[in-house]
Amino acid sequence: MRVNGKNYHAVWMRENTVRMVDQLALPFRFRIKKSDSWEESAQAISDMTVRGAGTIGATAAFAVLQALLASSQKNYVKNCTHAVREIKKTRPTANDLFYAADSMLEEINKSSSFSGARQNAEKKARWIFESYLESGEKIGLHGNALLRKNACVLTHCNAGWLALVDWGSATAPIYAASRTGKKPFVFVDETRPRLQGAKLTAWELAQEKIAHCVIADNAAGHFMQKGEIDIVITGADRIAMNGDTANKIGTYEKSVLARENGIPFYIAAPLSTFDTHTESGKEIIIEERSQSEVLRVFGRGKHHTGEVEIYSKKSPAKNPAFDVTPAKYITGFITPKGIIKPKESEIRGLFK
């Protein structure tokens, strides 16, 4: 998608160098970070320079390729095995991270020669990268059909192109609608505590010149009640086989409010988000993150850009990172293979 009028991907690789949009610097600075080694690329995943399932997956694939390209013929299997082990430690719950790193290693292991391994690994990394691009584009194609002209869409957190190499999941239908002249308008939940809606989604939309506004998470229900929102589209972190969906904290609230107000509520996701090993939301453990994410916000002051404490440290916080939206509140899933109902039979059908 566009930044300052030029097209970018969230991460890409040329020669031995991985380049990525530094998501920690956004929205205050747009900066491309370079990584010349698998260690640096792994570090970029763990320190959240890159984030989002697809972008993490592509970065992990590139990192394994970097490990291979930096190896001598003698040690390449050992080196790559070690690198994959380390890369998989960078984030605890990102399914795409494990999938990308493991399938790169598999490719390397099954090759009969060093040069064959290099060729196959390069092809595999390219394929992983492009499959994320294609997922986003197809989600956009299918999701666009749900949006009328001038549709008002509510979204939560950032399931944008920054998170899926390009197009995004929740944003893909919006970008597709914009490019087909529908002029969508987007209500962007700021998404406390980490504010990925305000910091990333709003920035993406501004760069793509799509009309939008940032709202306090508290205001979404009010705009639904007033009839100003036509459809809600969010991404997902993990989707169970019965349709229950784990996503950023607050998604459950929006789903209940959407149903109460008769507004369709869709989850947009690539196939890698559907977890065939999880039967229902009951099995999903919710990560409790640091209290300091609630206590502190990152912002730009007159004199200083950094974190400020917004209340007294004497008060503790609770900070569940995700919640589970039961399938009954979900109108449908927008997938690269089309739009499906939140039913086990339809979800399993995606994998046939």
- Rounded alpha-carbon distances, angstroms, from residue 32 to 20, 35, 41, 67, 160: 5, 10, 13, 21, 18
Nearer to a second copy, 85 or 183 (CB): 183
Q: Is residue 327 part of the contact set for a second copy (CB under 8 A)?
A: no
Q: Is residue 5 part of the contact set for a second copy (CB under 8 A)?
A: no
Nearer to a second copy, 32 or 145 (CB): 32
Tokens of 348: 């399993």
Q: Is residue 289 part of the contact set for a second copy (CB under 8 A)?
A: no
Nearer to a second copy, 221 or 338 (CB): 221
- 217-222: Cβ within 8 A, 24+ apart: 217/156, 217/189, 217/190, 217/191, 217/192, 217/250, 217/253, 220/154, 220/156, 220/187, 220/189, 220/253, 220/254, 220/257, 221/253, 221/257
CB 210 within 8 A of CB 184: yes
Q: Is residue 304 part of the contact set for a second copy (CB under 8 A)?
A: yes
Q: Is residue 262 part of the contact set for a second copy (CB under 8 A)?
A: no
Q: Is residue 203 part of the contact set for a second copy (CB under 8 A)?
A: yes
Q: Is residue 310 part of the contact set for a second copy (CB under 8 A)?
A: yes
By CB under 8 A, name the one of 88, 118, 138, 192 that touches a second copy.
Answer: 192
Binders in 210-249 for a second copy, by CB under 8 A: 212-223, 225, 248-249
Nearer to a second copy, 62 or 252 (CB): 252
Binders in 92-151 for a second copy, by CB under 8 A: none
DSSP string of 126-193, one letter each residue: HHHHHHHHHHHHHHHHHHHTTPPTT-EEEE-S--SGGGSSSS-STTHHHHHHHHTT---EEEEE--TT
Tokens of 225: 């009640």
Tokens of 56: 């993490």
Choose, from 237, 244, 275, 323, the residue flagged as catalytic: 237
Burial of 9 (0-12, 13-18, 19+ CB in 10 A): buried
Check if 237 is active-site: yes
Q: Is residue 301 part of the contact set for a second copy (CB under 8 A)?
A: yes
Q: Is residue 52 part of the contact set for a second copy (CB under 8 A)?
A: no
Closest CB 313 distance from a second copy, rounded Å: 9
Q: Would you tell me which residues interact with a second copy (CB under 8 A)?
A: 27-28, 187-188, 190-193, 195, 198-199, 202-203, 205-206, 212-223, 225, 248-250, 252-253, 256-257, 260, 286, 294-312, 314-320, 323-324
